[in-house]
Structure 1
Amino acid sequence: MTTPNSRDTAADSTPEPVVRFGAGAVRGRLENGLAVFRGIPFAEPPVGDARFQAPRPVRGWDGVRDAFDFGPPPPQESGFQGRRGVLVAPTGDDWLTVNVWTPAPDPAARRPVMVWIYGGAYKLGHAGSPGYDAQHIARDGDLVVVTLNYRVGIEGFARIDGAPANRGLLDQVAALEWVRENITAFGGDPEQVTVFGESAGAGSVASLLVMPSASGLFRRAIAQSVPSPFFSDPLAKDIAAAIAAEAGLRPTAADLSTVDPRQLPMAGETLTDKMHQYEDRWGTLAHTLSPFAPVVDGEVLPTTPWQGLAAGAARDVELILGHNRDEFRLFTVLDGQFGKLTEEDATTALRRFGPGPDAAQAYRTAFPDASPGELHEIVNSDRVFRMPCLHLAEAQLAAGGRAHVYELTWPAPGLGGVLGACHGLDIPLLFGTFTADLGNLLFADVEPSPEALALSSRFRASWTAFARTGDPGWPAYDIERRAVQLLDAEPVVTAYPEEASRRLWKGHVFAALPLIG
């Protein structure tokens, strides 16, 4: 018997849990009533001749492998707005790993399974980030939670010659296949899998809904703040060429493989700083935050999620779709623009990002009392997150499927309360991680109030009830009543609250972004 880790809360004589599955055996930790396994490889390290290729099945191992530590994050840019401090993470090439929290690794338990996909503009993220500690979800919901790493940035999404498109999405499929084949050994039910994700993680969930390779790997899905950008193949190839040029290379797997994967993200970072120079070719994308997104290549990802759902690709998958009321506030605050935006800034944003040639006047008519800063925030929140989520729900309904819709309206208390119900607030509320990652900003210098703790508990109760039964506790959305759950101190079901925006965007089609020139 091995000596229990100091973090274990079980008696000193309690052995560390060992689970045997297809590739071998792993030893985890007992932590606060859960068995936790970290850093289990679900695919071979994507380096050497496997670099820029589809994930390859992991080779088995002899003996019992310690699963005590998270696997290393995939290569990525140095950081992102909102994170405080340095992410402490292991190094190495074994990027493609999963982590499991389970009440009991008993094959007879057959508990529902929730699989988390992190966000980060498709260029950042790590399942080992403290904000994604899934213990509260697993324990409160009495279910199994899996988190996974996937390739981001150039490694995962650059559209280069000699490599399949959407490698990051293929990693997610491989992780879901690992769940299907192995989660029973950890006490989970492979027939009761729910995928859930936020921001780029929600965009990934939306992609998985319409990917043939992901069909049948999950029963339910939750997409929190789905971002709108999806790239056409020509646009994605042009972006990849620009990124490779920053490194003095051609956009090929052979050329890019000559650069250390930990150094290559700098080329994407350099391009991001001057994307505005490409407006004549990339259109509105040139004024956004990331040169990466899923690519509608016609093979790995045959259509956009909106087109695919409307055609019935996920008709039998039960969905939760939703967004936060003040999505874009986070970015204006972190950019130092909050309270400083002018009438000219608002007009530029409305013309650039609004739906149709008359968007500026239409928004001013719909929101006659809005300040320039409010107009700037509303149109960006609508374009990037709110309307993409609503249109996905309506696409699912059009195909005869079902979706539950929510809006988070409870305001973050950090930074004097200026953040409102901003982008990312749902993460610390759902996971209960108020002092980690974005939670460290959104709850900065503020102890979580009883109100925050109660909302956090309700958040988890709704999500885990949905994973168990398909019912989160409020009615499904329909085009007559448009019933939506408002997540606030006093949750209420009401008609969709962003009706003015819904009407403005009613005829808009979220298509794959084209290459203009």
Structure 2
Amino acid sequence: MLAPTFFIHFLLLVSLPFTTLAIPTPSASINAGTKKSIGSGLQNVWSLLCDIKILNKIFCSSKAGNSATVLTPLGLATGVADTSTVARFVVKYANAGRWQQSTMVTTWQLPNGATDPSSMPSACPQPPSAENSSPTDEDCLSMIIYVPASAAAGSIPALMWIHGGSFILGSATGPGLDGAALATATNSIVAVIQYRLGAFGFLSPSNGQANLAVRDTMMALQFLHKVLPSFNGNPNKITIAGQSSGASMVRALLATPSASSLFNNAILQSDPMDFGFLSPGAFQSINNFLINQLPCSSSNTTCLNNISTDDVLQFSLQTFGAAVSVDASAGTFEPLRPVHDGSLITNAMDLTTSFPSVNKKILISTVLDEAGSAIFETVDPDPVPASDFFANVNATLGESRTTTVVNSPFYPVPSPGSADFSTFDARTQLENLGTDQIWRCANWAFARLWAAHGGAVYVGEYVVGATYPDNADIDFCTQGGTVCHEDDIEIVFGTVPSPTSAQASLTAQMQARYKSFMANGNPNTAGQAYWSPVSGSNVNALVLGGTGTVAVGACTPSFWGQAVPFDYQVFGA
């Protein structure tokens, strides 16, 4: 233990540069500039104290679960009680000029100029949807940090959640994303982040730079490394997690060597891996399409910055819709996405390239009916006759792949003249096919590659879910026994309104497994069925909400990825 005199001398030493400001002056006569200087000086003192490891616990630790005020190296963090056992801190983590790389903030500040710590951040610019009910603003690089009372007992892991929404929708305040219950159940600090969307984060007319949004998430991780110790969070035990495009972002971070030291483990829920990363050529073509929509030259930065946010959003949506016609490899669901640029994202991490050596532990999950919402909301007529099955598949996969699919035993449809030919709804097999191609089989192929190159990976499939607001008006997704894309979110977060016993049981199971995985990289925990990691070609996909393992079906390595190439194989990386 250090002698008390050391602290006295140290405090006198670090306060010397600011004593000249401590002139006896009536407070009413101190101008705003002087107040700012004093505040900045004191903040620098506390930052210095917090940066010295031996003093950090004394000056900077706080029982965050019992208090809404925590001193961090970036200044005083003020939060509110989210629940009786969780404190919520809303904070801006980075600044970014339009189409410029983000930089981490140097002081702790509430987002969007707010003064009330209970206020929520503005979302990034996006069209209205069920994914977000918050106002929007380009100044949107914010996060919500949920700190459980258990943090007072000692250092705990952290989970950084990256929301989904096809990279054009979503926010930290999206439905079901309150992290309080998850933080309590997993004994972890949960940070739900925002990142730039659409053309704001995935294109760049002024400098042609890809992956701005990927860099945003890296900046969020750097911010967490800076402040987590102040909340008794362990920066060496950060798990990144996301659903849908959020999981695609997690995969992008796994493929980014410069991000590797920023997190420990990773969780990918319902990543549409069939698309792969965007190629540099496709990025350039789509970026040029955006430039051609703008009323400015790409070299006229002043003009570009003066375009209204609403107008940029409209140009972004036009580009999103047209991207697949500009370059077919873009696809229709996530055409604006991370780019395998060779500098930040250095490996495609799929079947088209030499997979790198890996050592991180990852958890991958899909849901039973991933394609249900897309197929039953967009494919007409209702029902789709069996005779139209080939034409619908051909429109997506092309004749060669379609012929292989139709002639396989995996997606049977009744033959003309059979008893059920006239009543069969081909959408059921289109849904099975879409789920396999875009999600299940593509994820399993990735899992096999990960395991074969040194990483531990666990795979599961949800057979119990909770209807997400996006799916509430889709009859297929609301009928019993179906689990559509996004229906795993509220299960994991523990935010299902009035859960059934099956939903509550699965929430308890998944939160216990996530707690174990965040702590030691293994989702196995007492009282639950053993979850085997991937071994060779055996994925051992655990049924989540049921018993046993998932039947391999069409996800055998000899079918999807070989006999029937994924889209990223067809179009190249």
Q: How does 1:325-404 map to 2 (within 5 A)?
A: 325-335=368-378, 337=380, 339-343=382-386, 345-354=388-397, 357-367=400-410, 369-370=412-413, 372-404=426-458
Match of 2:117 in 1: 67
Q: Does 1:485 align with 2:536?
A: no
Please state whether the residue corresponding to 2:366 is helix, strand or coil.
Answer: strand
Q: Does 1:77 align with 2:127?
A: yes
* CA offset digits 1:179-217 (Å, max 9, x no partner): 112101112111111111000000000010011221111
Aligned ranges for residues 312-327 of structure 1 at < 5 Å?
Answer: 312-313=356-357, 315-327=358-370
**2:391, 2:78 → 1: CA distance?**
56
User: Which position in structure 1 is the counterpart of 2:340?
Assistant: 296
Alpha-carbon contact 1:26-1:66 (below 8 Å) kept: no
2:349 matched residue in structure 1:
305
- Are positions 1:430 and 2:485 aligned together? no
Deviations 1:272-320 (A, max 9, x none): 44556x2xx522645x23431111112122222326996335x221000
Per-residue CA shift, 1:462-506, capped at 9, x if unaligned? Answer: 122211121112110112543111112x3x232544445654214
CA contact (8 A) 1:165 1:300 kept: no
Task: Please give the alpha-carbon distance, in whole angstroms, between the structure 2 residues aligned to 1:407 and 1:365.
Answer: 23
Tell me: CA distance 1:161–1:366, structure 2 relative to 1, closer, same or farther (3 Å): farther
Identity rate, percent: 22
* 1:52 paired residue among 99, 121, 124: 99
Alignment CA distance shift 1:487-1:306 (3 Å): same
Partner of 1:257 in structure 2?
A: 305
Give the match's secondary structure for 1:131: coil
Q: 2:549 aligns with which of 482, 494, 497?
A: 494
- Which residue does 1:469 correspond to in 2? 520
User: Could you tell me how far apart the structure 1 residues matched to 2:438 and 2:299 are?
Assistant: 30
Are 2:560 and 1:505 equivalent residues in the alignment? yes
Look up the equivalent residue of 1:193 and give its one-letter code.
I
SS in 1 for 2:262: coil
Cα distance in 2, alignment partners of residues 394 and 355 from structure 1: 27
In the alignment, the residues of structure 2 paired with residue 60 and residue 71 of structure 1 have an alpha-carbon distance, to the nearest angstrom, of: 17
| Structure 1 CA distance for aligned equivalents of residues 557 and 181 of structure 2 | 35
Q: Which residue of 2 aligns with 1:8?
A: none
Task: Measure how far apart 1:245 and its partner are.
Answer: 3.0
- Aligned CA-pair RMSD: 3.1
Seen in structure 2, the aligned counterparts of structure 1 residues 62 and 417 have a Cα distance that, compared at 3 Å, is closer
Q: Give, in whole Å, the separation in 2 of the partners of 1:105 and 1:178.
A: 22
How far off its partner does 1:253 sit? 7.8
- Measure the CA separation in 1 of the matches of 2:346 and 2:189: 31
Deviation at 1:238, TM superposition (A): 1.2
| Mapped contact 2:537–2:557 kept (Cα < 8 A) | no
Larger relative contact order (Cα-Cα within 8 Å, sequence gap ≥ 6): 1
Q: Which has the higher helix share?
A: 2
**Superposed, which structure 2 residues align to 1:30-41 within 5 Å?**
30-41=81-92
SS in 1 for 2:362: strand
Q: Which amino acid aligns with 1:291?
A: P
Contact 1:382 1:501 in 2 (8 A): no
**In 1, Cα distance between equivalents of 2:243 and 2:533:** 20
SS in structure 1 of the partner of residue 266 of structure 2: strand
Please say which of residues 299-308 and 119-128 is displaced more in the overlay: 299-308
Q: SS where residue 548 of structure 2 aligns? A: strand
Q: Name the residue aligned to 1:10.
A: none
2: CA distance, partners of 1:513 / 1:264: 32
* Number of residue pairs aligned between Structure 1 and Structure 2: 476
How far apart in 2 are the matches of 1:157 and 1:186?
32
2:248 counterpart of 1:203: yes
Q: Note closer, same or farther for the CA distance 1:467–1:65 as it changes in structure 2 (3 Å cut).
A: farther
Matched residue SS, 2:492: helix
User: 2:128, 2:115 → 1: CA distance?
Assistant: 31
TM-score normalised according to structure 1 size: 0.83
Give 1:220's aligned residue: 265
Q: Relative to structure 1, is the Cα distance of residues 329 and 262 closer, same or farther in structure 2, using a 3 angstrom cutoff?
A: same
Measured at CA, do residues 368 and 169 of structure 1 come closer, stay the same or move farther in structure 2, by a change above 3 Å? Answer: closer
Given residue 341 of structure 1, which amino acid in structure 2 is its aligned partner? V
TM-score under structure 2 length normalisation: 0.75
Code of the residue aligned with 2:286 in structure 1: it is I
AA of the residue aligned to 1:126:
S
* Inter-CA distance 125–398: structure 2 relative to 1 (3 Å threshold): same
Q: Is 1:237 matched up with 2:284?
A: yes
Paired residue type of 2:485: H
SS in 2 for 1:405: strand
- Give the match's secondary structure for 1:365: coil
CA contact (8 A) 2:161 2:193 kept: yes
Q: 1:463 to 1:163 in 2, by over 3 A?
A: same
Equivalent residue letter for 1:422: C
Q: In 2 relative to 1, CA 40–20 (structure 1 residues): closer, same or farther, beyond 3 Å?
A: same
In 2 relative to 1, CA 322–92 (structure 1 residues): closer, same or farther, beyond 3 Å? closer
| TM superposition shift of 1:355 | 8.9
The aligned residue for residue 163 of structure 2 is 118
Of 97-106 and 151-160, more deviation after overlay is shown by 97-106
| Structure 2 portions without partners, runs of 5+ | 1-64, 414-424, 525-530
Q: Using the alignment, how far apart are the partners of 1:99 and 1:303 within structure 2? A: 31
